[in-house]
Amino acid sequence: MKPTLQAVADAVGVSRSTVSNAYSRPDQLSATLRERILDAARQLGYPGPNPTARSLRRGFVGSIGVLFTSQLSYAFTDPFAVRFLAGVGAAAERHGTSMLLVPLPPAVTDARRAVENAAVDGFCVYCVADEEWALDVIRQRGLPFVSTAARDDAGADERFVGIDERAAARSAAAHVAGLGHRRVALIADSVLPDAPAGPLALAGVDQVRHPTTRGRLSGFADAFAEVGLNWAELTLVNVPGNSRPAAAAAIAGLFDQPAPPTAVLAGSDVLALGVLDALAARPAHDRPPVSVTGFDDVPEAAAAGLTTVRQPAEEKGRIAAELLLDPPADAAAGHVLLPTALVVRSSTGPVPRS
Amino acid sequence: MKPTLQAVADAVGVSRSTVSNAYSRPDQLSATLRERILDAARQLGYPGPNPTARSLRRGFVGSIGVLFTSQLSYAFTDPFAVRFLAGVGAAAERHGTSMLLVPLPPAVTDARRAVENAAVDGFCVYCVADEEWALDVIRQRGLPFVSTAARDDAGADERFVGIDERAAARSAAAHVAGLGHRRVALIADSVLPDAPAGPLALAGVDQVRHPTTRGRLSGFADAFAEVGLNWAELTLVNVPGNSRPAAAAAIAGLFDQPAPPTAVLAGSDVLALGVLDALAARPAHDRPPVSVTGFDDVPEAAAAGLTTVRQPAEEKGRIAAELLLDPPADAAAGHVLLPTALVVRSSTGPVPRS
DNA sequence: GCTAGTCTCTGTATCGATACAGACTGGATC
DNA sequence: GATCCAGTCTGTATCGATACAGAGACTAGC
């Protein structure tokens, strides 16, 4: 068994407090005694104050949690998530804080417990699915958090960093509408909790649970409404999970329909790249000239020539962590909206006249 | 202030232990009492057992640390590191364990403290620079760890997962030597701790501190020794930091020398891609046909047509975490060597006859 | 010579839980 | 009716530190 602080105190013949001070408040004791204590500690093989005991007493941990409401391995697979993490990491580094990545088991009860048990001082909630329960647990614990998805019921004091999803999506859709496209498909991740992959009839956008997805779909709908196309006239395709192959599989069949879409607007670059994959998989003579847009502008998008909406991923992570680690005095400053920009590349073009 | 377990106990009129059992050992009390306790807890707003206090008493934390001896943000920038993390994440997920990413301050004293203070049950040490001090701290703390860099002084009981760096590097170099190249440059990250970027004269490979870099350079040297080229005849280029632009900058000047290398062997794909960048940056008429090899086979390598040595990145992370989280009874099984494969693409070709 | 103030260091309470031994209850067994 | 046992619950020690009030020693000032 490793020696404790008590053991060191006994060895030197001082009190526990003094040994504690030798480590944490060197100005509270003479330099010579401090040396004597540290020497004894070295000799005994004392590993320094136990982090857990220290955290308990001090009342804080020195690490922030990052929550992904999905598989943890997903976080490293999605390029946008990786950039976001890089931003969080950079801020954490500056503050000398660690990042705890908490995997969430599929069952909600287990997942709740995971959030309850995380030893952190606060959470950055990066959500890819329904997250209310997670926020509930965090509030229950009395921990601060920063959300990256705008929620309607957000308290005024709740910190947030994100973009105007709806306006950003609208800019992409307006671009496509401006090119003349009127047979349009929208593809998004987890439109409804347990909906199967493929086309999905939805009465209205407001049925979409996840605020980010809802915001983006609303934006798409807005732009087409302006050119006289209503929601029911748009084809909605659901993908369970934000992955390239899943998107490809979900949309593939659509291009064999009698009147296939001439444009596909995706809720993320990953999905858009999947759509491009699905098109590329078809024989060259049977490859309709479909315009495709993405969202995020991940590194891969440029290489693929994907028209997309750029949002500052790393910045988002950095600011999220910053808001958590050193909260602005002004509550209004705790609500940060980042700029977005439509990046037009080769994946969109005028509707073919055939 | 949030209520404690004690407060719940008082409210229900039972002992602390019973409340504790209500959460952690439901079989130790009647179902009705348990319900009564949980109800009271809900009503009081008790957030459930405090994770820190629980860890202290139980003696373990439920999270593993991942150590990068470099900037934390680097971990999310290097594609190989990201794949590695994905592997660790997948294993952690399966075990219901969290991952703590600990940023290391530049000063060694601060960095030591960071490792001392990390509340974890063990470490996966992913090292990109000199790491001995970190392992010392971990041993001092009496925590288990898994290293991914083979070290000469590794104890028999120390767990390891990695590849035969030397043999793998040799296979790449043998390929290049077989193509007839004899004017060869090697480029690697942090060959010597504070060496500047650019060509570096080094008496021998054994002067290289970092075992991974040393292993790879040795392998390169081996293959060329076999065709009669000794170490002094190879040009060594140092890059401080494993980054694409840094590699490009470090090597650029080399191609303007009287007898420029016809092949460049890089210690990593990231460096190799940097070398390709440096070549691509030259005007087409002044672009020597240089063969380039990398190491790792990151996703970008395939797109760039880079000849490289493939090693299973995600697997490495997964196994590292696995070895940590559920250590094999047999000590020998704690030492895992992963397979590698030379992947020949378009970036290497026969030496031009001019 | 006395009081005040500064430096060091000690002692005890506390952080918030869990482990474990033991006590009580009620029913089954002989 | 005594014994045993399983099922519940309590009490106390413990995990390993830090915070804070306070005690002695020593210097300084008047």
pLDDT of residue A329: 87
| CA distances in angstroms from A88 to A69, A142, A328, B35, B113, listed in the order given | 17, 21, 17, 40, 21
The predicted-structure confidence for B160-177, as pLDDT tens digits, reads as follows 999 999 999 999 999 999
How far A289 CA lies from chain B's nearest CA (Å)? 24
**Residue B36's pLDDT band (boundaries 50, 70, 90)?**
very high
Give yes or no for residue B354 having a pLDDT over 70.
no
Query: Residues with Cβ < 8 Å from B307, sequence gap 6 or more?
Result: B172, B175, B291, B292, B293, B294, B342, B343, B344, B345, B346, B347, B348
Q: Where is pLDDT greater, at B352 or A166?
A: A166
pLDDT of residue A209: 85
Could you tell me if A317 and A280 are in contact, meaning their C-beta atoms sit under 8 angstroms apart?
Answer: no
At A146 the three-state DSSP class reads strand
Separation between Cα atoms, residue A230 and residue A187, nearest integer Å? 16
The predicted-structure confidence for A91-134, as pLDDT tens digits, reads as follows 999 999 999 999 998 888 899 999 999 999 999 998 766 778 89
pLDDT of residue A353: 76
| CB-strand contact A49/D, under 7 Å | yes
Beta bridge partners of A309: A342
Residue B73 in contact with partner chain A when CB distance is under 8 A: yes
At which residue do the structure tokens 């719940």 appear? B8
Out of B49, B52, B102, closest to residue A52 by CB: B52
What is the share, in percent, of chain B residues with pLDDT greater than 90? 79
Beta bridge partners of B292: B264
Predicted structure pTM score: 0.93
Interface of A with B in 17-36 (CB under 8 A): none
Interface of B with A in 205-234 (CB under 8 A): none
Q: Tell me the CA–C1' distance in angstroms for B49 and D12.
A: 20
Residue B44 in contact with partner chain A when CB distance is under 8 A: no
Could you tell me if B171 and B342 are in contact, meaning their C-beta atoms sit under 8 angstroms apart?
Answer: yes
The predicted-structure confidence for B103-162, as pLDDT tens digits, reads as follows 998 888 899 999 999 999 999 998 766 778 899 999 999 999 999 987 766 666 789 999
- Label the pairing between strands B98-102 and B63-68: parallel
- pLDDT, averaged across chain B: 93
The predicted-structure confidence for A13-61, as pLDDT tens digits, reads as follows 999 999 999 999 998 888 899 999 999 999 999 999 999 999 999 999 9
Interface of A with B in 276-305 (CB under 8 A): 303
Give yes or no for residue B86 having a pLDDT over 90.
yes
Q: Which nucleotides of C are covered by protein (CB under 7 A)?
A: 7-21
Out of B61, B90, B92, closest to residue A52 by CB: B61
Could you tell me if A186 and A124 are in contact, meaning their C-beta atoms sit under 8 angstroms apart?
Answer: no
Nearest to residue A186, comparing CAs of A197, A177, A199, A195?
A199
* Residue B193 DSSP class: T
Q: How many residue contacts between A and B have a Cβ separation below 8 Å?
A: 145
pLDDT of residue A154: 67
Q: What nucleotide is nearest A59 when CA is compared to C1'?
A: C15
Q: Which residues of chain B lie closer than 8 angstroms to A72, CB-CB?
A: 89-90, 92-93, 99
At which residue do the structure tokens 């040393």 appear? B214
Could you tell me if A188 and A239 are in contact, meaning their C-beta atoms sit under 8 angstroms apart?
Answer: yes
Chain A nearest-CA residue for B314? A73
Burial class (CB in 10 A: 0-12, 13-18, 19+), A152: exposed
Could you tell me if A102 and A124 are in contact, meaning their C-beta atoms sit under 8 angstroms apart?
Answer: no
CA B329 from chain centre, in angstroms, equals 25
Q: Which residues of chain B lie closer than 8 angstroms to A100, CB-CB?
A: 63, 98-101
Give yes or no for residue A189 having a pLDDT over 80.
yes
- Amino acid letter, residue A80: F
Separation between Cα atoms, residue A26 and residue A5, nearest integer Å? 16
Separation between Cα atoms, residue B351 and residue B354, nearest integer Å? 9
